[in-house]
Structure 1
C-alpha cells in the first residue's frame, strides 16, 4: 500500500488555506476558490491538512462535504480514518457524502476499516443502495490489497492505474491479473468483450468496475462507446462512476452521453453532478454551453454547484495552468 508523503509548508499557508476552505473570510469565498484550496491541501497530505479538511464537514454544501471525503481518501493518510468513520456513521448525512466516506476508507486501504464497513454493509440493506454498494466495493478493495500484500510482487496493484493519478475503487482487469498468461489474455480481449464484462449484471460489482477501469485505460472512442452503455445500468453508483471515468478520459466522444445525463431531470443528482464535472474537464464549447444552462435557479443545489465547479474546471483546462490548485510556499 502506498504510504502518504507529506509536503512541508509554512504555518501561514495552513492558516490561509483553512480560512478559505472553512469560509471564515469577508466577503465569503466563492465555491470554486474553496475547491482549489481543498485540492491544495490534498497535495500537502499532512495530518494538519487532514484536520483542516475535517473542519469543512460543518459546511452546508453537500457537494463540498462530498468532495472533502473524496480528497481524504485520495490523500491515503490513515489519520483521516476516524473522521471518515464518523461521516459514514452519521445516518442523517446525505448518502452522497456517506458514499464518498466509505469509498475513501477503501482508498486508504487499512484492514482496521473492515469492521465498520462490514457493519454498514448490513445496516444499509434496507436503506441507501448507494452507500451499501460503495461499502461492498470498499471491502473488496481492502481485501484485494491484503491478499496482494501476502503474495510475491507481480503485476497486481490497485494503485497502478494506467497512468492516471487517482486511487481507484478497483484495479483495472489487466492489473488484477495474477499471472503473465492472464495478463496476455486480458490484453488480447476485444474492447467489446471487455464491455460485455462491464454490463454483465450477474457478475460482482467489483469485477464490473475492473472492466470499467480497463476500458478507461484503453482510452479510445470504441472504449468510450462501450462505457457509455453503463448509463443504462440501474445502479446510480455505477452510472456516477461512468461519468467520473469520462471526466478522467477527457474524450470528446463522451460529451453527448454526458450532456444527456446532465439534462435528465429524473436522473439521480449524484450522477448529474458527476456528469457536470466531467463536462468541465473536457471543456469543449458545447460543454461550456450546457454548464451555463444548468448553473442557475430551479436546478437542484448539488447539480447547480457542480455546474459552477465544472465551469471553473473548464476555464482551467483552456487556460494552460499547470494544476487545479493554488500555488503554495513550501519549506525547503
Structure 2
C-alpha cells in the first residue's frame, strides 16, 4: 500500500505528466483516506502551477472529511497569491470537513468579508453550513441522503417541496446563497426533466448574479449527466464574457456527459483554467464513451 501511495503521489506531483493522468491519480488518492495520501494532495495544493489541479485538490480534501487536511486548507485560504478559485474551494472544503473550532470559525468570518467575491461568498456558505449542522439539523437531513455520494456545500430541502416553490427560491437573487444552494441540491435530487430545466435557468439571471452560484449550477448538471442540460452548458462555455470558474465547470460537466465534439472547440481557449478543464473533460468524455480503455478513474468532483 505504501509503495502504491508513493507512486500515486509522484504521478500527481509530476508536472511533465498529462493533467488527465494527474487527475486520475488524485481521484484515486481521494479514496485512500490516510495522512500519506493527504500529504501528497496537500503538497500539490500548496506548490503546483496549475490552478485547476490545485482547486481539485482542495475539493478532494473536503470530500475526504479528514481534519488532518485542515492546515493545508487554512494556509491556502490565507495565501493572497493563490487563485480565487483555489482559495474558494479551500473554504468550501473546511465547511465540508465540519470542524467547529474557534480558529476555523474566526478564519471563515474574516474571509467572509474579503474583497474577492467568490472567496467571501464561499466562506459565508461554509459558516452557514457549520451553523446548520451544529444546530443538530444534520440528524434530520443527513449528508448520506445525497444520491451522488458527495458532501454538498449545503443541505437540501425535503424532496416533497413543490417544484414551483423550489424554482422561486433558486432563481431569487435576493435570497441568500445558502437558500439558493439548498433549492439547487433539492432540484438535483428530484432529477426530473422539469427540474433540470429549472436548474439550467440558473445560468441566465442578471449580469450581477453570483459567479459562484452559476459555477455550482454547472457542477450539479455534471453530476446529473442529463442530455437535457447540454444546450445550456454549451451556451455558457461559449460565453467569453462569463467568469472562467463558470466556464471551466461547464466544460467538465460536458465531459461527464461525453460531449467530446463540443469540448474540443475550446482546447486553445485564452483562459488557462478553461483550456486545462477541456483537457481533463476530454479524458472524462473518453471514459464515459468507452470505460474499457481505463484501468482506474474515479468520478469527477467540484
TM-score, reference length from structure 1 = 0.84
Query: 1:172 aligns to what?
Result: 156
Q: Distance in 2 between matches of 1:85 and 1:162?
A: 27
Q: Unpaired runs of 5+ in structure 2? A: none
Q: Deviations over 1:27-86 (max 9, x none)?
A: x21110000000000000111110110111211111001111011101100000111000
Q: Secondary structure at the match of 1:265?
A: coil
Is 2:5 aligned against 1:31? no
Query: 1:288 aligns to what?
Result: 260
Q: Unpaired runs of 5+ in structure 1? A: 1-9, 175-185, 327-332
Q: Secondary structure at the match of 1:299?
A: coil
Q: Distance in 1 between matches of 2:67 and 2:55?
A: 18
Query: 1:7 aligns to what?
Result: none
Query: 2:289 aligns to what?
Result: 318
Query: 1:177 aligns to what?
Result: none
Q: Secondary structure at the match of 1:173?
A: coil
Query: 1:204 aligns to what?
Result: 176
Query: 2:210 aligns to what?
Result: 235
Is 2:34 aligned against 1:63? no
Partner of residue 141 from structure 2, selected from 145, 153, 156: 156
Which protein shows a greater Rg? 1
Q: Distance in 2 between matches of 1:253 and 1:67?
A: 26
Runs (4 or more) in structure 1 with deviation over 6 Å come to: none
Q: Distance in 2 between matches of 1:161 and 1:60?
A: 36
Partner of residue 216 from structure 1, selected from 188, 196, 202: 188
Query: 1:138 aligns to what?
Result: 126
TM-score, reference length from structure 2 = 0.92
| Equivalences, count | 291
Q: Deviations over 1:190-213 (max 9, x none)?
A: x23211110122322101110000
Is 2:220 aligned against 1:262? no
Query: 2:249 aligns to what?
Result: 274
Contact 1:161-1:172 within 8 A present in 2 as well: no
User: What RMSD, in angstroms, separates the aligned Cα atoms of the two structures?
Assistant: 1.7
